[in-house]
Amino acid sequence: MNVDKDAGGGRPLHGEPLDWQPPDPGGPLHPGPPLGPGSSRHPGLPLGPGSARHAGQLSHTGQLSYIQEADCEREHRLRTGSEQTRPLRPCRDPQGHVKAGRQEPGRAQVGRGVPGRLLIIGGAEDRCCGAGLLERFVELCGGDEARIVLVTSATGMPEQVHADYERVFRKLGADRTRELRLRGRADADADEAAEMLAAATGVFLSGGDQSRLRTLVGSRTNDILHERLASGLVIAGTSAGATAMGRTMILSGHGPDVAAAAVRTGPGLGLVPKLLIDMHFGERGRLPRLLSAVALDPDHLGVGIDENTAILVTGTTFEVLGTGVATVADARDSTVVHPAGDCDPITLYDVRLHLLPAGCLFDISERTPSIGPAHDRY
C-alpha cells in the first residue's frame, strides 16, 4: 500500500510559540475583515445548494444550530436604528457543549455575505515567503487579521509541520496560528476543538497519511467545518488534507492498470461532495488510479492536482491556481464494463478528460471547463 506522505521539502522552519488562545466563551470575537467578491482574483461566484452536507453524512448527536430570534424583536431593532454589526461569540447548548460560532440576526460573522472557499492543494506547495498558494490562503483568511487553525492529524511529524507552517504564515503577515492535533474521535468531538474552530477565519489541513483523517468523518469537528464553511470560513488542505475534502477520499492505490484493485477509497469529510480528489498527480503518474476511482463511481468528477497547484472552490465553480495542471476525469456518460476479478482491467470508453492550467475555470454542476480572466497562457 502506498501512503501519501507530507510533501514539504527543505529544512524545517521553527517558529516561536504564540500566545493566541481561544477566546473566553463569554467574550467577543473579532470577525475579521469581510472578504468581498472583488477582494481576490477569483470572480467570486455565489455558493450554491451543492455545498451542503452530502446525503448520508454521519452527524454528531449534539448537532449544531444557529440561534433564531423572534421577527418582532428584529423589526423593532431595525425601526429604532439599534440594528448594528456586533462581534461573533461562541456559545453553548443547554448541556454546556460549545457550538460553532453562531450568528444572531444583526451579528456579523467572518466573511458575512461571502460564501466559504476551499483551497485544495496537490501537495509540495512552495513554502517560501511570498509563495503563491499559501499567500493566497492568507489573503482569503483576512491577511494580518487572519486567525488560522492548523490541523496536523494526518502527519506523523506534527511539531515540525506546525513550526514550518507557523513560520511561513507569520512571514506572510498572519501571526495568529494555532495547532489543532486531533488524535482520535474523542478529540474531534471535544469542546477545545469547537472553541478553536469557532474563533478561526481559516483552517488548514496538513499532508501526511489520509487514513488518519477517517476518524474526523461524521465528527463534531466535521459538522462545524460544514456550518462555518457556509458562513464564510476558508478551508485549505494539501496532499492528504486535500483528498479528505471529498465525500469519498482515495486512501491508497498504485499500478499501471485501470482496475478495482488499483485504488482503495473510504468516506471523506464531504466538504465538496461531487469531487473525488487525487494529489501529487502528474509527478506520481496517478491517472490510472483516478480513472479506476471514477469508473467505480461515475457520478463523481475525478480531479487530479499536480504539486504546487491548487483548485479554489467557490460555490459550484473552481479556479486552477499554481504552476501545474488540474486534470478532470468525467465518466458520467461513459461505458464501463467491470470484469469478474478486481485485478483485471476495467473496460472504460467515452470518458472525458480536461487538462486545466492556472486561470482555467470549471463549473462542477454543469461539468464544463472554461478559460477564466486570469488565464495568461494564450
231 is catalytic: no
Nearest to 200 by CA among 133, 119, 146: 146
In a domain, 357, yes or no: yes
In a domain, 23, yes or no: no
* Close Cβ partners of 137 (under 8 Å, ≥ 6 residues apart): 119, 202, 204, 234, 236
Q: Which helix (H) or strand (E) holds 361?
A: strand 360-363
What is the tens place of the pLDDT at every residue in 51-100? 333 333 333 333 333 233 334 444 444 444 443 333 333 444 444 444 44
Q: Tell me if 291 sits within 8 A of 260, measured CB to CB.
A: no
Alpha helices, H only, 63-157:
71-80, 132-141
In a domain, 11, yes or no: no
Compute the half-sphere exposure of residue 85: CA atoms within 13 Å on the CB side of its CA: 12
In a domain, 120, yes or no: yes
73 is catalytic: no
- Average confidence (pLDDT) over 269-295: 97
In a domain, 320, yes or no: yes
* Close Cβ partners of 230 (under 8 Å, ≥ 6 residues apart): 47, 51, 52, 115, 116
- Average confidence (pLDDT) over 289-311: 98
How many domains, in total, are found in the chain?
A: 1
Q: Which helix (H) or strand (E) holds 290?
A: helix 287-296
> How sure is the predictor about 115, in pLDDT bands with cuts at 50, 70 and 90?
confident
In a domain, 168, yes or no: yes
In a domain, 29, yes or no: no
What is the tens place of the pLDDT at every residue in 313-348? 999 999 999 999 999 999 999 999 999 999 999 999
Q: Which of 239, 292, 300, 319 is catalytic?
A: 239
Q: Which of 42, 162, 226, 280 is catalytic?
A: 280
Q: CATH code at 220?
A: 3.40.50.880
- Average confidence (pLDDT) over 348-374: 96
Q: How is residue 93 written as a grid cell?
A: 447548548
What's the pLDDT score for residue 189? 98
Prediction pTM value: 0.73
Domain extent, residue 215, equals 115-367
Percent of the chain with pLDDT over 90: 66
Q: Tell me if 150 sits within 8 A of 180, measured CB to CB.
A: yes
254 is catalytic: no
In a domain, 327, yes or no: yes
Name the residue with cell 475534502. 245
Q: Which of 166, 195, 227, 307 is catalytic?
A: 307
